[in-house]
Structure formats: C-alpha cells, structure tokens
Amino acid sequence: MTDSRTPDTTTATPLLLLPGAEIVAAIRSLLIWGVVAATAAGMFIRGSHSSCSGGVASSGDGYIGADGAPTDVEPLCGTVTMSPSPLLFVIMAFIVIGSLTRVLRRADDVPQALGILNNARMALVVVTLVALAVSWIAIMTLHVDDWRSFSLFSPFPFGQFDVETTPITQR
C-alpha cells in the first residue's frame, strides 16, 4: 500500500527565475542587437566608384579632355571608396550605454526598464537602416565628370569617402 501523503515527484516543478532576470535578458538582447548592427554596418557600408575624365589620343601624342576635345593637359582618373564612419559606431555605443544609464537612473519598475531597453534596441535598428540607406544613396548617385574640380554628397555621419586622383598614364 502506498502512502498518499508522500509528494508526487512525477510532476515537474517550474523553474523560478532570479530576481531581475527579465532585465538581464533584455540587456543581453540589447548587446546582441548592438553587435549585429555594428557588424552589419561594417560589412554592408562599402562601395567604390572609379572613372577617368578624358583619355589618350589615338595617335598617342596627346590627350582627349572630358569634353572630347584634344588637349595637352593630362586628364585625371579618380577612385572614391566608401566605408563606415567611426562616428556611426560611437553613436551605436552611445545608444547602448545611454540606455543602460537611463535604466539605472530612471526606471522605477521592471516594465519601465524593459521599455527603455526595447526602445534602445529599436533605435539601433533604425540608425543602422538609415545608415545603410544614406550610404547606398550616396555611392549610387555619385557621378564625377571632371576629377580636377568636383564635389561629393558625403554620407556623414554614417559613412566616409576616401578620394584618390591619379594622372591617366599612372593608372
């Protein structure tokens, strides 16, 4: 005969979470999203554009200018290389550190802390998507006719351009 007063060990007891575990999980999620956002920006904010304004005359004893007329001045070739701006990564770090500081200073309860961390996570996503879009537009709309005098739409603070010009014969 079995004793009915013994506890039933076949039913699983629910695991109790550590106090504040929800906040720790939200912080972990924020850090993971921060790393993913920084990695995505570092990988996808890349691009380059190269062109030459003019060329070498078919006879080999002169040059052709950007307007198609013969000239004695050697035309320039240029290359623009785009990469992510270090300021973008500073902005991302500021979002993470600022949200953690805000949780410590202003959150009165767990739901308010979770709301602050969720908003920071969304801010990381928005900053990354805007950086990708602005940088993509900047490199896709780049068109230089004359490498002697030009101006570029810079995707600052999301990306940066490195411009290099060389004479056509050194290319």
Q: Is the dihedral of CA 18, 19, 21, 27 positive or negative?
A: negative
pLDDT tens for each residue of 96-135: 999 999 999 999 999 999 999 999 999 999 999 999 999 9
Cα dist. 156→45, 61, 128, 132, 159 in Å?
A: 12, 42, 13, 12, 5
Q: Given this model, what pLDDT does residue 15 score?
A: 65
- 47 alpha carbon, distance to own chain's centre: 13
Report whether 164 contacts 79 (CB < 8 A).
yes
Report whether 17 contacts 47 (CB < 8 A).
no
Amino acid at site 155:
P
pTM of the predicted protein model = 0.81
